[in-house]
Amino acid sequence: MKSAVVVFPGTNRENDIARALELSSGHKPAMVWHGDSNLPKVDLIVVPGGFSYGDYLRCGAMAAHSPIMREVKARAEAGTPVLAVCNGFQIVAELGLVPGTLMRNAHLKFVCADVHLRVETGQSLFTSGYRAGQVIKVPVAHAEGNYFTDDDTLKRIEDGGQIAFRYSDADGDVSRGNPNGSRAAIAGVFNETKTVLGMMPHPENAIEARFGGTDGKGLFDGLVAALG
């Protein structure tokens, strides 16, 4: 599997994502600067976490207008899978590649902690390494991860199976464990074709046991199995 990681000023999880991709695929991803206008031919594009442009204006708002994102959007619309994590989720939401938006956490504080996620579907490129209903534990680190969408869109994405992960407790109860106030406890959402995934938690920081757990590795292993 060939992959590319987009890097912005303020990105701070590009090396973590690169490590996760290399561990699962055996290949180092291409690192693509935000000011570039061309992407190599790859099987997967990753928009990683961090604080692109210092989170000025609105998280992801400036990065969404970087030259490389025009090509990312074009590739995504042509069917190339895109994984967008944390700040990456905010960026692709600004681009309209996934539904909804990310607001300030309900308690108005930065949250950095391990959280539990309930996998809502195993039927996607990104979640094929898990089973529906499985509970995994991965870290979050954000101040604006409060997912919001209107009633009609929420019904549409629920009916369409576009919710990838929900925050939960260790037993999978989604009425508990929500760290930021996200609507319907949504932690990760797909586009309509499930070729783009935006998620706030960091699976790339849960890939090695010596650093706290391996529950995130299933996402990367599943992508390699699906994309070759």
CATH topology of domain 3-227: Rossmann fold (3.40.50)
Is residue 145 within 8 A of residue 138, CB to CB? The reply is no
Q: Both tokens of residue 113?
A: 């902690």
Which one from 14, 94, 120, 204 is the annotated catalytic residue? 204
**What's the pLDDT tens digit per position in 6-27?**
999 999 999 999 999 999 999 9
Query: Of all helices (H) and strands (E), which one includes residue 21?
Result: helix 14-25
**Cβ-count burial 40-59 (b if 16+ within 10 Å, e if not):** eebbbbbbbbbbbbebeeeb
What length is written for the chain? 228
Judge if pTM exceeds 0.85.
yes
Longest C-alpha distance within the chain, in Å?
A: 45
Task: Tell me the pLDDT of the chain averaged across its residues.
Answer: 97
- Distance in angstroms between the alpha carbons of the first and the last residue of the chain: 5
pLDDT (average), residues 65-80: 97
pLDDT higher than 90, residue 56: no
Active-site residue, 59 included: no
Percent of the chain with pLDDT over 70: 100
Number of neighbouring beta carbons within 10 Å of residue 151: 8
What residue segments make up the domains of the chain, in order of their start? 3-227
Q: What share of the chain is helix, strand, coil (3-state, %, to 5)?
A: 30, 25, 45
DSSP class of residue 182 equals -
**What's the pLDDT tens digit per position in 90-101?**
999 999 999 999
Which one from 34, 86, 94, 142 is the annotated catalytic residue? 86
Helix axes 217-227, 14-25, angle to 10 degrees: 60
Band the pLDDT of 197: cuts 50, 70, 90.
very high
Band the pLDDT of 2: cuts 50, 70, 90.
very high
Active-site residue, 202 included: yes
Strand partners, 210: none
Q: How far apart are CA 207 and CA 215, in angstroms?
A: 7
Is residue 104 within 8 A of residue 144, CB to CB? The reply is yes
Closest CA to 162 of 115, 204, 195, 139: 195
Active-site residue, 142 included: no
- Give a three-class secondary structure readout of 40-99: CCCCEEEECCECHHHHCCCCCCCHHHCHHHHHHHHHHHCCCCEEEECHHHHHHHHHCCCC
Which one from 34, 116, 142, 202 is the annotated catalytic residue? 202
CA 159 vs. chain centroid, Å, equals 21
Is residue 157 within 8 A of residue 189, CB to CB? The reply is yes
pLDDT higher than 90, residue 67: yes
